[in-house]
Structure 1
């Protein structure tokens, strides 16, 4: 994994389009989603739950804006945060895993978890520049840390870009997972 920020080409889809795709895909597949957010402070959850029918697949979420909550609510490793800080790929991955566990219901683990952590600004944090963001996506197949991303602009622009990127990456993961599930003996079913 490169430590250089990834350039992200602007997306022409709307946030509503992407959120709708995610909710429909989860619903069609009988899957559920939990969310863990830091810098986006509920923006990912708000975008997803604005879609009609979201209640069938959305389990809930944790806004762990304060670093100690990442540890106590999402079970992010204390030593990791001490050594690397709260803005790190492995922290995002552990937050996504924690979202699956924190939103488990009726003895059933949540299928997918998504997490965001980063620096929205206006000042750098723990030596990380404004706009640096990591996203984590967790599923039964494993966990994927994504980033670093470097989003330019104001505090609100960084947060908006993070929500858009997180949901775009989640949709890509859902599509990829479904294609893997559809492959049986090397042929599409």
Structure 2
């Protein structure tokens, strides 16, 4: 009895080769189609771990702080803030930024609205809600004050982060947290 290895090498049949190639083509095609679809449904992560971002203009370009601070005191600058939501930043009388910004979304139905310097109010043109300069409701139908964001200078840019502290206007926990 000789213990030798067979000299024949196992070969793959034509059917097995075609099944393998078909499976590889199907897997490659499915992956190339599913990858962009899944990327579409996953929100991009922009900003830092605490959810803050740098203020941008309407085109997505960073806004230098000196550009906003060059405006006269009392000016309300509209920037793209968290999640690209329109956010008003206010220049204080001493030429610095107010520590909070106000989101430009009506708490009634989410309309965006302009700052009216003549009446010194935010005025929603859709349903008539009015807010004072700090975002408190002056006249409904809006049920809640406007959302706040924290505003800080970071080197030459403005960092906007979610407001998680006590709402200074009401002295209570913010409704949006």
TM-score by length of 1: 0.26
Answer with 1 or 2: which has the greater Rg. 2
More helix per residue? 1
More relative contact order in 1 or in 2 (CA 8 Å, sep 6+)?
1
